[in-house]
Structure 1
Amino acid sequence: MNNEITRWLQRDPDPKSRQELQQLVADNATAELADRFNRRLEFGTAGLRGVVGAGPNRMNRLVIQETAIGLGQYLLRTDNAAAHKGVVIGYDGRPDSRQFAHDTAAALAAQGIKVYLTTKVAATPIVAFGVKHLQTAAAVVVTASHNPPAYNGFKVYWNNGAQIIPPHDAGIAAEIDKATQSEIHLMDLAEAEAKGLLVWLDDAYYQAYRQAINSNPLLNNHHNPQDISLAYTAMHGVGAEMAETLLADAGFSHVYSVAAQREPDGTFPTVKFPNPEEPGAMDLVIAEAKQHGAILACANDPDADRFAVAARCDDGEYKMLTGDQVGTLFGYYLLNHVQASTSLVGNTIVSSTLLGKIATALGAQYYQTLTGFKWLTNVAMERQTADHQFLFAYEEALGYTIGNAVWDKDGLSALVAFAQLTAELAVTGQTVWDQLEAIYREYGLYINAQRSIALDPTAAPIGDSLRAMPPQVIAGLAIVRTEDFKISLCTFADGTVEAIDLPASDVLIYHLADGSRVVVRPSGTEPKLKCYYEVVEPMSQEETFDHAQRRAQATMDQLIAQHQASL
């Protein structure tokens, strides 16, 4: 390891991380050094993400430069026009993000690849938008999204505007491995600009995104926007300026932004964890909403690709909508504003199946993918036809995309769409809670939950155990069919077998006799099991919504308890 440390110190361009590493050596911090040097941050379909620090198993300038060289080499090898097409590069508000983005540009330009570099911080969807807008070979966003302050990341988009999927991830990773053994070549950005290899993306580019969102017909449903009010937080991220602009463009004149969280700040001083799903993360925006009597309390995560919302209830308090509830509302709303029979909508296998039920009832095409937005958009592009154009997709982890201006989750356009949905309901005196109740009365009350279970690290892999001795019942309910994505087969109770047309993944889904569902995803990196539960309860017109909710929750609690006990 000493030779590796010496070589790293010779290559590392950052005096700060070199000093950090030298201090670890001086302190004889063998365990820490081993963690940093025994492996390298793995490049996958989400690119890179990790803690900032010195060493190959951390995010730092050298890792970024080697990664950018690997990406450039892969682009040049797979696309003859890649150098001319170029790469869009943007970054979030974390302390190292601007430097990492500039290092990426310098490494790509040194390979003769044109780069389009944002002049300031940019929301992830604004950068992803650039691929199709500028017809580039790829895009890079330097962001760790909603991870804690110590993290940063390097996310890659392909020439179709979507996040990379196999085989590109493995191809880029192989080139990164070569780059770690090669000399680093960079081009000064001033030289790159002089040679025509660097184009700065200034305000005109941001306005192009704004125009694309405003011209999206799905975001032009103007029903008295001035009559509703909403609170908004960027959660110390990069979304505020564009979010407020788009809402104003759509006619929403009563928008109250949380001042303490409006400006980019990668230390995230007012939240323990900058993820809207985490307890307490929405406290300030809900307080802002209460202060102004707003209908909605809305949030983007720090890179503004996710959207979260709490809505005011009859008692004046605010309650968070789940990602599945927002996805259901979007699906129902959009499919009732277009010709559903020519539309394509989708979600992931761990998201609620209610969207599929609504789509089928309204005559739309519906698809499911593995977990991850990269699958939702790449599959959408494959599935859409002249007769069925892509309309909408979502994942339960607060990711939504509406239309095809951005082929990734876009929390900014989702914010506008949800405000418009709410304003339309308000015209008739309805709320989003009223709309959800109406949907549930029509299609059944769907509730979803997720639990993680720690497993005995010395035990056999749980997925293998479940496959060796398949359960016949869960919580006293017969399993009517089992989907095994590792072997790509769906097995029915009568023994009938059907193929599953999705990439292999270590996931098992059990469909129960009462319409409930249990999804089991063993972790590939730790002794942990992720379980996703769905309960479907019919509702009579006479039953109160509160009573039906309590009944569904009791069923869910029983399902979770008995399933976990069986493991």
Structure 2
Amino acid sequence: ARVFLARGFPVRFAEEPSPTGALVYWLREEEHGKAAGGENMTPSHNPLSTQGQRWNLENGDVAPTSVTDRIEREANIICMRDPTIEKHDLKQAESENRFTYINMREKYVAWVADFLRSQRLDTLLKDFYSKPGHRFIHNAMNGVARGYIPEIFENLGIPAESVFPMDSEKDNLLGLRFYANPEEQWLLPTMDRLKQVGAIFECANDTDGDRCGGILDETGFTNLNKLLAMLCDFTIRGLGWENHIVIRTGTTSTAIDDVVQALVGEYNIPTPEWDQINSLVQHPFYNIKRIADDTDTDLNYILSLHKFPCIDTEVGFKYISSAMKKYDLPAAIAGEESGGFTIKRFPDKDGIIGICIIASMIAWHGKPPGKIWKEHTEKYGEKHDVRLDIWAPNTPKEKIINSWLDNPPESIAGQKVLWAGGTYHDKVEFVLQSPGWGADTDAAIISRLLVRASGTEEINRIYIESSDKTITDALKQASLDRLNNLIIEDVNSAANHFDLADRIASTGMTFMTEPTRKQYFNAVKQRMNTLATETGEKPVEIYRKILHLLTLGMDRDVNVRHAAWDIDIGAEYYRRIFR
């Protein structure tokens, strides 16, 4: 704020840490697009150590790449030059009426409640959640969304006890979580709370309240891939939102496409890109590496597997926002599997509105999400999807992508590769078909496998989907085997004990079987012995140095990261090497 003031910008500053949705609301509804922009400092759904700058344009839109690249470039130049940064005095600016505190919460809560009334959802919510036993848990994960859902429900005249607040206290360490991420791993441990408070389901937001990654009920966790498909059905059939487009990112399940395809004949749903090969494949950096050329496989059929009734975008909400502007149509649902979605013409994801819409969908069906999904699959077909987040050193993290692009296989886990393509260092994707179907494409089982390298963390994200769970499981294991083999191979190139310790610390053990872990630490021990020979030290001296780096010398965030996945990496190393 002091830097903005020094450069001549008046500043409105939130009285308390506020969710992204409230910031977007303020830019659109209070400033009416006349502000220079809005800034939110947050780690979002990422580790606490990755505190970042989130910038929204004057109309609330997510800042596009051209803007974020410019901000990043200018910030890096400032860091390199280390100039004296001019900062204005806050008290002086306040006396000049150039710096004012604002209460975003009160007006934003009223605005969300008014929107729900405009869609006649207030009656639906009140009728369902006013009944005894019809309550749910809102887990704020100690983030800024705390208190918002109960207040919105109270504004609608719904009893406060219908929403049970969990982790709604301010805690700068987020309850010792590695990150506040509303996904399966972080919600499943709270399953017992459902029975304790008599709740139908539990939902959660991330640190800045723009994500609501999934919901938990007595049947387990329902991820956003499934939720987006169910929400699409709800907004079109339940709310009658016709002439609304549907948008998803390329990593999001095609279960939502199945809904649009089934409803498009009965409802007016624009599908402006259905007749085109999706735009991701047309990107100039995308490489098509394999298209099956058997005589019994039709090329047009293979190409049709890259044509979708939904608008398909790159990963990142700025691309979803851009697609909404391109077609100038409201969205029945527009989202990404990583936890964020929006509706209508709201330009950014909003986890608080998202939870209100999810609660409305559950009220419309009158049953918990697990049962809704079961009925959904009976209507639209089954889709099994898996996403794995696997910590891996940078070399194997990219090698699994590049090596598959260089030498795409003809089959994976017994499934025929119809299509292989992607972008070097970024992603590789496969469209696969169950063998033996020949020209009978209607009966064939189509599966999809995509591997992405995170741009911010040492993580590979593996996405798998199929209508057959056995195939999903086989593809999962094949992908894990390939990545783990590359991680083990990478150990042999460690330059010294510091480098080796760093690679061990960067390796996630969660998805390694016992034999694979044994193989991995055998490779580690062999490399340490080689390093000892090269440096003239005793092997045990190298062992101890690395043990120190993985325990007393380990970065706190790395240690917490392993602990979050139920691994004590120092203890695991000690047990494997010294015992």
AA partner of residue 446 (structure 1): K
Among the aligned pairs, what percent are the same residue?
A: 22
Give the alignment partner of residue 322 of structure 2, picking from 364, 378, 381.
378
TM-score normalised by length of structure 1: 0.67
> Could you list the per-position Cα deviations for residues 437-494 of structure 1 after superposition, in whole angstroms to 9, with x for gaps in the alignment?
22212222111112337479389834332222222222222223344356xxxxxxxx
Which residue of 2 is the match for residue 401 of structure 1? Answer: 342
Per-residue deviation at 1:335? 1.5
Q: What's the offset of the Cα at 1:266? A: 0.8
Q: Is the 8 A contact 2:183 2:214 kept in 1?
A: no
**Residues 112 and 197 of structure 1 are in contact (CA less than 8 Å); yes or no, is this contact kept in structure 2?**
no
Instruction: Tell whether the 8 Å contact from 1:449 to 1:533 is kept in structure 2 after alignment.
Output: yes
Work out which of the residue numbers 446, 467, 470 in structure 2 matches 1:536.
Answer: 467
Read off the aligned partner of 1:424 and give its amino acid letter: W
Cα distance in 2, alignment partners of residues 346 and 410 from structure 1: 15
Whether the 8 Å CA contact 1:274–1:281 is kept in 2: the answer is no
Counterparts of residues 239-388 of structure 1 (less than 5 Å): 239-253=145-159, 254-258=161-165, 261-269=167-175, 271=177, 273-277=179-183, 279-281=185-187, 283-284=189-190, 286-312=191-217, 317=218, 319-339=220-240, 341-363=242-264, 364=269, 365=271, 366-384=310-328, 388=329
Alignment pair present for 1:162 and 2:41: no
Give the whole-Å Cα distance in 2 for the aligned partners of 1:137 and 1:367: 30
Q: Aligned partners of 1:277 and 1:459: how far apart in 2?
A: 22
Matched position secondary structure for 1:222: helix
Query: Which residues of 2 match residues 115-126 of structure 1 at below 5 A?
Result: 115-126=11-22
Offset of residue 138 of structure 1: 1.3
Corresponding residue for residue 304 of structure 2: none
Q: Does 1:110 align with 2:6?
A: yes
1:222–1:167 Cα change, 3 Å: same
2:96 partner amino acid: K
Q: Distance in 1 between matches of 2:313 and 2:106?
A: 33
Task: Classify the secondary structure of the residue corresponding to 2:162.
Answer: strand
Give the SS at the match of 2:185.
coil
User: TM-score of the superposition, structure 2-length normalised?
Assistant: 0.66
Given that 2:213 and 2:338 are in contact with CA atoms closer than 8 Å, whether structure 1 keeps it comes out as: no
Matched, 1:484 2:422: yes
Aligned residues: 415
- CA–CA distance in 2 between the matches of 1:344 and 1:425? 23
Task: Name 2:427's counterpart in structure 1.
Answer: 507
**2: distance between equivalents of 1:333 and 1:319?**
21
- SS of 2:71's equivalent? helix
Map 1:126-165 → 2, pairs under 5 A: 126-133=22-29, 134=31, 135=33, 136-150=35-49, 152-165=51-64
Is contact 2:262–2:380 with CA below 8 Å preserved after alignment? Answer: no
Matches within 5 A, 1:14-25: none
CA distance, structure 2, for counterparts of residue 308 and residue 207 of structure 1: 25
Paired residues of 1:422 and 1:431 also in contact (CA < 8 A): yes
* Distance (whole Å) between structure 2 residues aligned to residue 273 and residue 482 of structure 1: 34
1:130, distance to aligned residue in structure 2 (A): 2.1
> For the residues of structure 2 that align with 1:462 and 1:471, how far apart are their CA atoms?
13
Task: Flag structure 1 segments of 5+ consecutive residues without an equivalent.
Answer: 1-104, 487-504, 538-551
Residue 306 of structure 1 aligns to which amino acid in structure 2?
R
Match of 1:237 among 131, 143, 168: 143
Instruction: State the alpha-carbon separation in 1 of the partners of residues 139 and 371 from structure 2.
Output: 25
SS state of the match for residue 464, structure 2?
strand
Per the alignment, residue 212 of structure 1 pairs with: 111
Q: Return the alpha-carbon distance in structure 1 between the equivalents of residues 258 and 72 of structure 2.
A: 40
Give, in angstroms, the shift of residue 271 of structure 1. 4.5
1:87 match: none
In the alignment, the residues of structure 1 paired with residue 179 and residue 451 of structure 2 have an alpha-carbon distance, to the nearest angstrom, of: 26
Once residues 414 and 383 of structure 1 are traced to their aligned partners in structure 2, the CA distance between those partners, rounded to angstroms, is 22
RMSD: 2.8
Cα contact 2:147–2:165 (8 A) shared by 1: no
User: SS at 1:421's partner residue?
Assistant: helix
The residue aligned with 1:447 is 384
* Residues 558 and 242 of structure 1, relative CA distance in 2, 3 Å threshold: same
| 1:402 aligned counterpart, secondary structure | strand
Counterpart-to-counterpart distance in 1, 2:364 and 2:420: 41
Find 1:556's aligned residue among 464, 472, 478: 472
Q: What is the CA distance between 1:163 and its match in structure 2?
A: 2.5
**1:307 aligns to what SS in structure 2?**
coil
Deviations, residues 494-531 of structure 1 (Å, cap 9, x unaligned):
xxxxxxxxxxx832221122221011223567876432
Cα 1:524–1:241 change in 2 (3 A) is closer
Structure with a larger share of its residues in helix: 2
Q: Which amino acid aligns with 1:298?
A: C
For the structure 1 residues 511 and 456, does the alpha-carbon distance in structure 2 shift closer, same or farther, using more than 3 Å as the test?
A: same
